[in-house]
Amino acid sequence: MHKDDGDTDEVAGPATVPLALRRVLGLVVSGAATNRAEIARRSGLARSTVGQQVDHLVGTGILEEVESRRSVRGRPPRVLTISPHAGTVAAVDVDTSESQVAIADLTRRVIAQETVGVRIDAGPRAVLDAVTERLQSLLEKHRRDPDRMREVVVGLPGPVDFQQGCAVQPTGMPGWDGYPVAEHLQESLHAPAVVDNDVNLMALGEVAQGRMETPLLCIKIATGIGSGLITTGGDVYRGADGAAGDIGHIRAVSGSSILCACGNVGCVGALASHRAVLRGLGIAESTADDPLHGTRELARRIADADPTALHAVRQAATEIGEVVAMLVHMFNPRTVVLAGPLSQLRDDLVSAVRAAVYQRALPLATRKLTITASQLKGGSGLHGGIALATQDVFSPTGIARLLADEPGPDR
């Protein structure tokens, strides 16, 4: 016997979403079913109910039904997919010297990606206005309807209040503390906006695009050091107030007395971050002509096997490895991904972190552990933002918004 297919769930949104519709759409979005027969079999819904819901979703332009490209005898089967015209999501990865922006359709296919060269210390208005202008330009250039922007997700390199959509007392980000980032973008782009810590999004991107096993711990080693944790179920662990993962202010095991920007001494970020390594080697982070001067110069020295540079990177990696070993004991991740400029320097950083972790952590926590550098070459934050945006779009509230809009297919 089938459950009453007319049942509905009340959700916070502009409409009430039929449960049957949510089941049908969920199976297509997850890839668990690609045609009407599969949906009926997996959902337990009557074929007539499946047909009604599919017709409705196709009619509103959320799904499309096309002939399969598989080679078969007779009439080709028809498959259901998310319509590439159902809407657009945007991801923004704000960093110290520049921001990366991207737009994607609801299948998570990246349509366009660009760099916005405004420094974070120019303040939130300057950065966000430049980001908004670039996103609007990309929408126009690629003929994406701005009225179908479904969500914008922004990653910030500092502590974030996820519920309020703002940074909280970030270091090196003048003017950003408490600034309503989500509200600013929502008003500019007329779409829901979400703000998260950049490493949380990087961790999501490593799972969604890099297909890394969970639980996953992502460590970003850049101006500071931060981490993001993805649970076995694929969710970001943010903690009670969004402060989870701010590991750069853990005291280094070596007990250094170096002063950190937070006012404390001996923080691992002040000792082993990319900025700290550059400072120790006397390399300027940036010049008037090259905002990435420090990254390029350190990479050159490492490629040339400069012994001083190699020692500095390995020493930083050992300090980071000690902290990672503690996190491995606490969270028992299946995968640790190292990201940021230092992680791209040959295998020196990864090898030294791996050595420290295996020396300090017990065998039970490391026997199936993989420690690797990011394979997404700086794009994990954007991919994570796109993944988070599409998750929200296909949540009960997001589906309600889609149905209330009922745009119909693009012409």
Average pLDDT on 72-86 reads 80
Q: What is the DSSP letter of 77?
A: P
Residue pair 167/181 in contact by the 8 Å Cβ criterion: yes
| pLDDT score recorded for residue 254 | 82
Residue 14 has pLDDT above 60, yes or no: no
Q: What is the pTM of this model?
A: 0.90
- The count of C-alpha atoms lying within 13 angstroms of the C-alpha of 36, restricted to the half-sphere facing its C-beta, is 18
Q: What is the pLDDT of residues 231-256, one digit of tens each?
A: 999 999 999 888 899 899 999 988 77
Alpha helices by DSSP H, 166-273: 181-189, 198-208, 268-272
Q: How distant is the alpha carbon of residue 364 from its chain centre?
A: 29
pLDDT band at 122 (very low <50, low <70, confident <90, very high): very high
Q: If we measure between CA atoms, which residue out of 319, 309, 291 comes closest to residue 118?
A: 291
Helices 36-43, 19-30: axis angle to 10 degrees equals 120
- At residue 196's C-alpha, the angle toward residues 158 and 179, to 5°, is 65
Q: What is the DSSP letter of 336?
A: E
C-alpha distances in Å from residue 113, one per residue of 33, 90, 131, 161, 391: 30, 10, 12, 26, 20
Lowest mean pLDDT among 251-255, 331-335, 397-401: 251-255
* E strand residue ranges, 95-210: 99-105, 110-116, 149-156, 160-161, 166-167, 193-197
| pLDDT score recorded for residue 9 | 43
User: Across the chain, how many H-helices and E-strands are there?
Assistant: 14, 15
Output the CA torsion sign for 274, 277, 279, 285: negative
| pLDDT score recorded for residue 2 | 39
Alpha carbon distance 179, 105 (integer Å): 29
| pLDDT score recorded for residue 8 | 43
Lowest mean pLDDT among 5-19, 208-222, 262-276: 5-19
Q: Which residues pair with 194 in a beta bridge?
A: 153
Please, what are the domains in the chain? 8-82 (1.10.10.10), 88-201+381-391 (3.30.420.40), 211-375 (3.30.420.40)
List of residues 6+ apart from 292 with CB closer than 8 A: 97, 286
pLDDT band at 37 (very low <50, low <70, confident <90, very high): very high
In what helix (H) or strand (E) does residue 190 lie, and over which residues does it extend? none
pLDDT band at 36 (very low <50, low <70, confident <90, very high): very high
C-alpha distances in Å from residue 189, one per residue of 110, 115, 137, 206, 242: 19, 18, 12, 27, 25
Cis status, amide bond into 170, omega within 30 of 0? no
Alpha carbon distance 41, 47 (integer Å): 9
Average pLDDT over the chain, rounded to an integer:
90
Residue 13 has pLDDT above 50, yes or no: no
Residue 208 has pLDDT above 60, yes or no: yes
Q: What is the DSSP letter of 95?
A: -
**Amino acid letter at 19?**
L
Residue 5 has pLDDT above 80, yes or no: no
Residue 15 has pLDDT above 90, yes or no: no
